[in-house]
Structure 1
């Protein structure tokens, strides 16, 4: 593959759908949360809510529930039910890496780049995923919306905080942002990242990525090391 981005020094990767195979876990956990809130599967309200969840994949989950349920109390109740359900699914062994994801991360780290893993989940869920995969010590930094004052994607905060905390690049144009949703892409665009890639292993596809401003679309995060090439 032709090397087009050899100057990238910091790589900010999404988790579920990008480096972690989702397998429908988000929607299953949402169904449990909706049930806890009295929204029955098969109802028009449930279908409307699910459509919103799918459209906003990548966004902070508490923000999604604020939109769906209105009050802060109900949003937090729904979010707690979602996090508990997702945690149970992960604990039951249903979390798995996207094929080649760990190898790609190790290749990037081995080439001298800094890698950060980010998510729209709460810290407790992110940690459960990291533990289930044995990734707790894989990268130097992991971030969730609570780590940046609560603003997750599509805001640029997670990307910019990755740069500030790691000092892994001298310029935002040396940052790559990779994710499976339009919100991942938009967060990278808003942060001024030099490479913003959508991957076809999760929630959204080429049309959504391009509309959000992606500079690249990849089949998988496994293709990223070859795209970046070796450091000069």
Structure 2
């Protein structure tokens, strides 16, 4: 047998939105608080769980909090409406360097997918507010992956199947700011699961939940992927 360095570049990147590519200034908590009030519940009784489960599908969070499907759906609708109103009022912006990072990765031949735990109308409102409708070829929410969001791997796997950009999960990177993003990436089998420090959770929590790398922000991602591409070990053939 001989040794040959076979380079499998990471050519599919699944990026989270709020906290990773989108800076929303704590709008998630504000929208949860508004939803709680509309449901006649004091927000303080919910926010601990909300913070602990940042990145999870929002309807799943409400199912846990209310234990009743109808109430969960009502609360989720109230949350989406409140978040959409805040987005429409101009309370979000790109994480510095996010658009440039996505454009650089695209120029390098990588396929970039934006994913979120929000429902489709809210995701679309964010994309419209940022002028990002044409930034990537595919955006995913839990409904696009059979209804299961993070921490399940379904959205990552949906990106793999729908883009057909790569041959295997060893060519996939998952990037996010929460523990649930990390769990989703790990469970999908992605080669790189990168945490960013611009959102909900700190380095210790990201690493504890499976981050293979932690970077300051998504602006550093193209450089990380370039290093990973060059670090593929020799394969015996």
Instruction: Provide the TM-score with structure 1 as the length reference.
Output: 0.94
CA displacement, residues 81-112 of structure 1 (integer Å, 9 cap, x when unaligned): 00000000000011100000000000000100
Task: Work out which of the two has the higher radius of gyration on C-alpha atoms and give 1 or 2.
Answer: 2
Q: Distance in 1 between matches of 2:200 and 2:164?
A: 30
The answer to whether residue 124 in structure 2 is matched with residue 122 in structure 1 is no
The answer to whether residue 171 in structure 2 is matched with residue 184 in structure 1 is no
Q: Distance in 2 between matches of 1:22 and 1:184?
A: 17
* 8 Å Cα contact 1:189/1:213 also seen in 2: yes
* 8 Å Cα contact 1:6/1:228 also seen in 2: no
The answer to whether residue 55 in structure 2 is matched with residue 58 in structure 1 is yes
Deviation at 1:24, TM superposition (A): 0.5
Residue 207 of structure 1 aligns with which residue? 204
Deviation at 1:169, TM superposition (A): 1.0
SS at match of 1:116: strand
After TM superposition, where is structure 1 displaced by more than 3 Å over at least 4 residues in a row? none
SS at match of 2:174: strand
Deviation at 1:214, TM superposition (A): 0.6
Residue 18 of structure 1 aligns with which residue? 20
SS at match of 1:62: helix
Correspondences of 1:141-180 after superposition (within 5 Å): 141-180=138-177
CA displacement, residues 9-36 of structure 1 (integer Å, 9 cap, x when unaligned): 1000000000000211000001100001
Correspondences of 1:70-85 after superposition (within 5 Å): 70-85=67-82
Deviation at 1:200, TM superposition (A): 0.2
Task: Give the superposed CA RMSD.
Answer: 1.4
SS at match of 1:94: coil
Segment drifting more, 168-177 vs 222-231: 222-231
Q: 1:39 aligns with which of 28, 37, 41?
A: 41
* 8 Å Cα contact 1:22/1:202 also seen in 2: no
* 8 Å Cα contact 1:6/1:229 also seen in 2: no
Q: Distance in 1 between matches of 2:32 and 2:8?
A: 40
Residue 43 of structure 1 aligns with which residue? none
Deviation at 1:7, TM superposition (A): 1.6
Unaligned runs of 5+ in 2: 1-6, 231-237
Unaligned runs of 5+ in 1: 41-45
Q: Distance in 1 between matches of 2:24 and 2:208?
A: 23
Q: Distance in 2 between matches of 1:119 and 1:16?
A: 7
The answer to whether residue 109 in structure 2 is matched with residue 112 in structure 1 is yes
The answer to whether residue 219 in structure 2 is matched with residue 229 in structure 1 is no
Q: Distance in 1 between matches of 2:171 and 2:226?
A: 14
Number of equivalent positions: 223
Q: Distance in 2 between matches of 1:213 and 1:94?
A: 31
Deviation at 1:48, TM superposition (A): 3.5
